[in-house]
């Protein structure tokens, strides 16, 4: 019953334009199932591996679409902006981790990282963080940013027309592309483990897909079909919701006010850091605001397409996403050093 109900709820949420609908839907259904039965939802290891690999591939695709010229041109401001967002996450996560011992630094910091909402729970599971708490916070941030972004952007735009929906998705993969996607999703993790990459289930597919995408002809699309993406999102939702318990839910609810306060502070802080970028990069505040928005990449791309903004928006968002994924992968190593200097 979990699978068909998850598809139904995900479909309804998607029709209602809810962000991350295909993750939130199964999360709700599997959480309800786990709370009622008081048993953790089991996941097939091969399906779970395919899901993690597909999520990594989806995270890699924006890197392919941004040219190396733009990456080098906006690398420094992108790194500074990403560093600022990571610093805020470390500060916010430390406050939560120190004041709520049951959460811990790993979960506190990862829950505050602004980017890769579908990737973070998977990495959290690998690095030993509470992926349930990380997932709930990440999707709460995504929801807040997705709702507020069009409102603020509409106010900033010179026209009164509000962007509607998402940009047209790229052409989906044919049989050759699907074969490559399945091979990368199932095999890249083993390569990454052999090379001792951090968070190999995500970083492996990202690295392998970027390499392959630059080698294959442009006529071969590597964008996963809807069915593959939906299956991957469903599994992430089941992973996060299927292990919830009443005790964990009560603990998470106590942290809701501080989480909402941090999300609001994060959005405001990123809006402030956009101001100096207008002078540094000679762009409008609208473009700078989109470039520094903490997450909701789909909504950012929709607004960028609608307004005709320059490559700076997509490039800086991609740099931020990449920096956050790499930082999350190396979080255990960072925390070993960080704990030594904590008071």
Residue 104 backbone zone (phi > 0: left; psi -120 to 50: alpha; other: beta): left
DSSP secondary structure string, 116-168?
-TTTHHHHHHHHTS-HHHHHHHHHHHHHHHHHHHHHHHHHHSSSSPPP-S-PP
Instruction: Summarize pLDDT for 213-260 with one digit per residue, the tens.
Output: 889 898 888 888 989 989 988 888 888 777 777 777 777 777 788 888
pTM given for the model: 0.71
Instruction: Summarize pLDDT for 92-107 with one digit per residue, the tens.
Output: 889 888 888 778 888 8
d(CA 170, CA 162): 22
If we measure between CA atoms, which residue out of 90, 136, 86 comes closest to residue 256? 136
Residue 299 or 244, more confident: 244
Contacts 24+ apart (CB under 8 A), 119-124: 119/55, 119/56, 119/59, 119/202, 119/325, 119/328, 120/328, 121/236, 121/239, 121/240, 122/52, 122/55, 122/199, 122/201, 122/202, 122/236, 122/239, 123/199, 123/202, 123/325, 123/328, 123/329, 123/331, 124/328
Residue 72, pLDDT above cutoff 70: yes
> Count of CB atoms within 10 A of residue 58's CB?
22
Residue 142, pLDDT above cutoff 50: yes
- Spatial CB neighbours of 3, under 8 Å, sequence gap ≥ 6: 234
Q: What whole-number percentage of the chain has pLDDT above 70?
A: 87
d(CA 311, CA 323): 18
H or E stretch covering 78: helix 75-99
23 pLDDT band (50/70/90 cuts)? confident
Q: Are 8 and 199 in contact (CB under 8 A)?
A: no
Q: Are 236 and 116 in contact (CB under 8 A)?
A: no
d(CA 303, CA 284): 14
The architecture CATH gives domain 2-341: Up-down Bundle (1.20)
If we measure between CA atoms, which residue out of 174, 35, 165, 61 comes closest to residue 118? 61
d(CA 184, CA 191): 10
Instruction: Summarize pLDDT for 147-196 with one digit per residue, the tens.
Output: 677 667 666 655 443 344 445 557 888 899 999 999 999 999 899 889 88
Tell me what pLDDT residue 262 has: 86
């Amino acid at each position: 019953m979990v699978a068909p109900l998850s598809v139904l709820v995900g479909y309804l949420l998607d029709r209602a334009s809810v962000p991350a609908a295909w993750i939130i839907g199964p999360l709700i259904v599997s959480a309800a199932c786990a709370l009622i039965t008081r048993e953790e939802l089991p996941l097939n290891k091969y399906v779970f591996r395919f899901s993690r690999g597909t999520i990594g591939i989806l995270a890699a695709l924006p890197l392919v679409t941004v040219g190396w010229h733009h990456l080098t041109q906006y690398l420094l401001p992108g790194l500074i902006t990403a560093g600022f967002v990571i610093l805020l996450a470390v500060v916010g996560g430390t406050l939560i981790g120190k004041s709520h011992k049951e959460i811990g630094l790993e979960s506190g910091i990862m829950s505050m990282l602004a980017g890769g909402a579908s990737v973070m729970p998977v990495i959290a599971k690998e690095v030993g963080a509470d992926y349930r708490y990380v997932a709930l916070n990440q999707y709460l941030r995504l929801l807040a940013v997705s709702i507020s972004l069009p409102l603020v952007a509409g106010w900033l735009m010179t026209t009164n027309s509000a962007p509607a929906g998402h940009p047209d998705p790229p052409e989906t993969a044919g049989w050759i592309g699907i074969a490559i996607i399945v091979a990368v999703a199932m095999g890249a993790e083993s390569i990454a483990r052999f090379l001792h990459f951090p968070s190999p289930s995500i970083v492996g597919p990202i690295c392998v897909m970027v390499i392959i995408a630059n080698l294959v002809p442009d006529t071969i699309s590597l964008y996963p079909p809807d069915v593959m993406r939906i299956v991957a999102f469903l599994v992430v939702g089941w992973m996060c919701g299927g292990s919830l318990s009443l005790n964990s839910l009560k603990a998470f609810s106590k942290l809701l006010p501080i989480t909402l306060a941090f999300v609001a502070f994060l959005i405001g802080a990123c809006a402030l850091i956009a101001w100096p970028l207008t002078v540094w990069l000679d762009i409008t505040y609208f473009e700078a605001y989109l470039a520094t928005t903490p997450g909701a990449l789909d909504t950012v791309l929709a607004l960028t397409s609608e307004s005709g903004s320059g490559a700076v928006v997509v490039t800086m968002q991609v740099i931020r996403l990449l920096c956050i994924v790499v930082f999350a992968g190396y979080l255990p190593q960072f925390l070993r050093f960080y704990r030594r200097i904590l008071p």
